Amino acid sequence: MTNVIKIRKGLDIRLKGKATEKFVDIGKSGVYAVVPDHYVGLAPKAVVRTGDRVRAGDPLMIDKSCPEIKFVSPVSGEVTGINRGEKRKILSITVKPDEQIEFKQFDVKDSDTLDADSLKALLLDAGMWPYIRQRPYDRMANPSLTPRDIFVTAFDSAPLAPDFNIVVKGEEEELRTGLQALSKLTPGKVHLGVKGGASFSSSGVGQGTFLVELYGPHPVGNVGVMINHVKPVNKGETVWTLNAADVLFIGRLLLTGTVDLSRVVALTGSELSESGYAKAISGCTIGSLVQGKLAANGRLKRIVSGNVLTGVQVSMDDYLGAYHNQITAIPEGDDIHEFVGWAMPGFGKYSVSRTYFTWLSGKNREYKLDARIRGGKRAMIMSNEYDKVFPMDILPEYLLKAIIAFDIEKMENLGIYEVAPEDFALCEFVDTSKIEIQQIVRMGLDLLYKENY
């Protein structure tokens, strides 16, 4: 039976620059990298040296706190650098790719008959584990725990997000295989969240997977919303979460015995002269994706790996985020100077509170927003503005105050165990106090994790 979730609270931010439904050519990345900062709470330890040769699927580093979790090379080639920062912290491990990728072969002949422990060992050995995250704490799943349920989202409702139908096209079998494998890792259910009206069926995703149809504005596609409405996380419980695009990696491994980390990336944003979709490999340089595609208008541009609400600002020499399948380019805004801009009628400007008359032009109008904060930091004002865009059964303002005060009992009572920073992205967007809410939530989760472990 299909579960249906309909929400009214939320906000669809309609930006210019949505990816056209076509695949575009991209440049060749001269180097690929595994970046420890892409993974929350990782204590990396390199297991290769500069000059070593690796295949796609060979480990580059492990997690010191859980050595069985491996991070593998996305391509074959030569290790060109183990780049370190302050206190010898590993910033990245880079690999210069071969002309033809050589894959490490894993034994998956009897993958259909693998039990949970054997399947878990295979995923750990092949570097698939970092794509499985857990709640509470929103970090890599602990392989020693058994999740109550597993939640997979196949619907991204964020601004300019890629269309999952394009991401998975031609790989339906890989998705089905990956979901069936996940169902062996939990005594509960695997819940797959899809856009309401999408062409998915229970038979199409295999046994053990239960569809959840999602209707409403962003953040309806967030896995946290699905968890909150289907079965919230209580103290002492653990659930695992994945993005459906990452489930394809698991499906490919089980079908071919190789680690293929290629993904469909949406190239979006008003500052791109050519938008669309591209086939890339995780860890590629940002420059290989957007070189020659930035608008030649002389304006300063901000490139974001991910979406504009939860993504990370990157440069051309940085690398595609491990969990990201979207690149967004928007105006920086620092070179724009408006005469008494706050006092102007604001025709063409976006406003959540309908301060400007632009809202009269209809809710489907697209806007060209830049990266300016447009205001200064001030005290948190209890105005209920968070509640208007926060569809979970949680009091966001009270939870944030409990996190700031690090009142553990209040944090637990107010639902800290089932949230992630991304769930508060819209609160941060509409916040008139300009508070970095996602950073506060991340801090609270990390402190609580250290307290409990």
Looking at the chain, the whole-number percentage of residues with pLDDT higher than 70 is 98
Does one domain contain both 156 and 237?
yes
Mean pLDDT of 84-109: 96
Phi, psi of 277 (to 5 degrees): -120, 150
Does pLDDT of 12 surpass 70?
A: yes
Residue 357 pLDDT class (50, 70, 90 cuts): confident
pLDDT category at 358 given cuts 50, 70, 90 is confident
Both 165 and 284 in one domain: the answer is no
Co-location of 298 and 325 in the same domain: yes
CATH number at residue 69: 2.40.50
* Claim to verify: residue 219 and residue 270 sit in the same structural domain: no
pLDDT of residue 335: 78
3-state secondary structure the chain: CCEEEECCCCCCCCECCCCCCCECCCCCCCCEEECHHHCCCCCEEECCCCCCEECECCEEEEECCEEEEEEECCCCEEEEEEEECHHHCEEEEEEEECCCCCECCCCCCCHHHCCHHHHHHHHHHCCCHHHCEEECCCEECCCCCCCCCEEEECCCCCCCCCCHHHHHCCCHHHHHHHHHHHHHHCCCCEEEEEECCCCCCHHHHCCCEEEEEEECCCCCCCHHHHHHHHCCCCCCCCEEEEEHHHHHHHHHHHHHCCCCCEEEEEEECCCECCCEEEEEECCCEHHHHHCCCECCCCCCEEEEECCCCCCEEECCCCECCCCCCEEEEEECCCCCCCCCHHHCCCCCCCCCCCCCHHHHHCCCCCECCCCCCCCCCCCCCCCCCCHHHCCCCCCHHHHHHHHHHCCHHHHHHCCHHHCCHHHHHHHHHHCCCCCCHHHHHHHHHHHHHHHHC
CATH number of the domain bearing residue 170: 3.40.50
pLDDT at 301: 95
What is the spatial distance between Cα 264 and Cα 345, in angstroms, rounded to a whole number?
41
Q: What is the pLDDT of residue 201?
A: 58
Reported as a pLDDT band with limits 50, 70 and 90, residue 377 is confident
Residue 60: predicted pLDDT: 98
First to last CA, the chain: 38
- pLDDT, tens only, 234-285: 989 999 999 999 999 999 999 999 999 999 999 999 999 999 999 999 999 9
Confidence of residue 198 (pLDDT cuts 50, 70, 90): confident
Query: Is residue 297 situated within a structural domain?
Result: yes
pLDDT reported for residue 204: 63
Let me know if residue 20 belongs to a domain: no
What pLDDT was estimated at residue 75? 98
Range of the domain at 416: 387-452
Q: Is the pLDDT of residue 89 over 90?
A: yes
6 lies in some domain: no
Which tens digit of pLDDT belongs to each residue from 52-61? 999 999 999 9
In this prediction, residues 196-225 reach a mean pLDDT of 84
Is the residue at 21 inside a domain? Answer: no
Q: Are residues 115 and 99 in the same domain?
A: no
**pLDDT score at 166:** 94
198 with 327, same domain? no
pLDDT confidence tier of residue 344, bands split at 50, 70 and 90: confident
Q: For the CA atoms of the chain, what is the radius of gyration? A: 22
> Residue 39's pLDDT band (boundaries 50, 70, 90)?
very high
Same-domain status, 116 and 242: yes
- Confidence band for 342, pLDDT divided at 50, 70 and 90: low
Model confidence pTM above 0.85: yes
Strands lying side by side in the sheet with 32-34: 32-34, 90-97, 77-84, 53-54
Mean pLDDT of 109-123: 91
Identify the band that residue 347 occupies on the pLDDT scale cut at 50, 70 and 90. confident
Confidence category of residue 2, pLDDT binned at 50, 70, 90: confident
**Is 369 inside any structural domain?**
no
CATH code for the domain in which residue 341 is found: 3.10.20.600
The CA distance from 48 to 59, in Å, is 8
Q: What is the pLDDT of residue 337?
A: 75
Last residue of a domain, one of 46, 71, 104: 104
Task: Examine the domain organization and report whether 135 and 203 are in the same domain.
Answer: yes
Is residue 309 assigned to a domain? yes
Mean pLDDT within 133-162: 97
Tell me, yes or no, whether 252 and 162 share the same domain.
Answer: yes
Residue 24 lies in a domain: no
* Per-residue model confidence (pLDDT) at position 341: 67
Are 115 and 248 in the same domain?
yes
Is the pLDDT at 197 greater than 90, yes or no? no
Looking at 8-22, 61-75, 158-172, 360-374, which range is the least confident one? 360-374
- 315 and 391 in one domain? no
Lowest mean pLDDT among 370-379, 401-410, 420-429: 370-379
Q: Which residues contact 337 (CB under 8 A, 6 or more apart)?
A: none
Q: Which of residues 88, 104, 120 is at a domain's end? A: 104
- More confident position, 376 or 316: 316
Q: What is the count of structural domains for the chain?
A: 4
Residue 344 lies in a domain: yes
354 pLDDT exceeds 60?
yes
Tens digit of each residue's pLDDT (9 = 90 or more) over 288-326: 999 999 998 888 999 999 999 999 999 999 999 999 999
The pLDDT of residue 349: 84
Based on the domain organization, do 391 and 353 belong to the same domain? Answer: no
